[in-house]
Amino acid sequence: MNEKWKKVDRSSMPTAEDTRPGLTYWQDVWRRFRKNWLAMAGLVLVILIALLAVIGPMFSPYSYADQQLELSNLPPRLAITKLSDGLYAYVHKEFKLIQVSEDGDVLGPVKLIDDDLVLRTRTYELDGKEIKFDYSLANKKGNKQKFSDYGYNYRIFVDGKEIDPTPVKTTQNKTFVLGTDRLGRDMWTRTLYGARISLSVGVVAALVNMIIGVIYGGIAGYEGGMIDNVMMRIVDLINSIPLMLIVILLMVVIGKSGFGTIIVTIGLVYWVSMARQVRGQVLSLKEQEYVLAARTLGASKSRIIMRHLIPNALGPIVVSMTMSIPNAIFTESFLSFVGLGVSAPQASWGTLANDALGAIRSFPYQLIIPSVAIAITMFAFNFVGDGLRDALDPRLRK
């Protein structure tokens, strides 16, 4: 028996200092948040979008208002046609030639020397060569179209000799990465400026939620009684007025629509849901023993609310703030889409989508780009909000 058992030296046994150190509440929240890969992916996307919005336009050679009408409606990918040795062009859907390099750099419009609207031909001059663009085969009335020998509804002649207009390659537009809009403005730059406006609106909504909603809901929940009833009836009144009606009324009062109108609108209505949530949390927390102890020690009402009740309700508050950001972004995009948002030439994802409606069949990328930007941003913030909700729930702590 003695051979099977060995006495352990007490000095080799683990002490209290050797055990795993305890985690604070927020350290434990971060530990659980990191385990949620969707939440981490959303956080990375949010940081990336914020960085692109802040520093991205600084590296663009164009501003959101720069126009180049000769280069309007250029797609993100160019089908390049070879005119002759060393000369390449992009045949635009509007039947015009744009000079490009073999690698996809836009060099500019080809010089137009004659435009015959009767014969439906255009004559260009490029590096001493005469290029005749014949689009008479294109039938605008929608009847059965005719095609050239190469299968296209247009023909190209270089110095009188017809060439095959079949694109030699399709490559990325290196000058305008996301293409241009109907006025020749760079879609990449305008999308980045749209991110600035959308994220600014989201940050303002979060700040308004934190400042107004938390304080208002905390006071209503702690005071209770008649004060609570009056304050909540005010909330019900504000919540009963449609957001669109508030925007229209503000436009009448201010005299114009724009970014300032959206900020004021959000400041008036977006704190309502937060106030309700904070009130509910405070109602359940104000009967706790630590609140009674604070009262006994003579703490003021404001100190109890700001130092004891609000910090203990911080989990739901943070989640609600995070969820309010995508809602505010979508609201701003919708208002800009219907013409009640930022004014031209300012770029917003909603205004970009609105500008693209007229050419959605010919140039669908102009609508796809802002739509994808809105969707990615909303998904990212929602993933972060879902991850925070799970990480801040004490019932899930392990």
* 131-189 pLDDT per residue, tens: 998 888 876 555 456 677 777 888 888 888 888 888 888 999 999 999 999 888 999 99
What pTM, to 2 d.p., does this model score?
0.82
Residue 347 is classified by DSSP as -
| Sole residue written with tokens 């911080």 | 314
Pick from 347, 298, 67: nearest CA to 197: 347
Q: How far apart are CA 151 and CA 166, in angstroms?
A: 9
Residue 286 has pLDDT above 60, yes or no: yes
H or E stretch at 353: helix 349-356
Q: How far apart are CA 279 and CA 261, in angstroms?
A: 28
Q: How far apart are CA 357 and CA 354, in angstroms?
A: 6
Q: How far apart are CA 370 and CA 76, in angstroms?
A: 14
Buried b (16+ CB within 10 A) or exposed e, 183-215: bbbbbbbbbbbbbbbbbbbbebbbebbbebbbb
Strand-by-strand arrangement of the 97-100 sheet: 106-109, 97-100, 87-91, 77-84, 169-172
Residue 75 is classified by DSSP as -
Distances, alpha carbon 73 to alpha carbons 4, 135, 180, 357, 373, in Å: 86, 19, 5, 13, 19
The boundaries of every CATH 1.10.3720.10 domain in the chain are 41-53+185-396
pLDDT (mean) for 345-367: 86
Beta bridge partners of 77: 172
Look at 281-290, 339-348, 375-384, 388-397 and tell me which has the smallest mean pLDDT: 388-397
Provide the pLDDT for residue 292: 85
Please answer whether residues 124 and 133 qualify as being in contact, where contact means their C-beta atoms are separated by less than 8 angstroms: yes
Residue 264 is classified by DSSP as H
Look at 136-150, 162-176, 291-305, 368-382 and tell me which has the smallest mean pLDDT: 136-150
Provide the pLDDT for residue 396: 55
pLDDT tens, residue by residue, 190-224: 999 989 888 888 888 888 878 888 889 888 888 88
Q: Looking at domain 41-53+185-396, which CATH architecture does it have?
A: Orthogonal Bundle (1.10)
Q: How far apart are CA 77 and CA 343, in angstroms?
A: 29
**Sorting pLDDT into bands at 50, 70 and 90, what band is 86?**
confident
Residue 65 has pLDDT above 80, yes or no: yes
What DSSP assignment string belongs to 113-161? Answer: EEEETTTTEEEEEETTEEEEEE-TT--TT-SPPP--TTS-SSEEEETTE
pLDDT tens, residue by residue, 44-59: 999 999 999 989 888 8
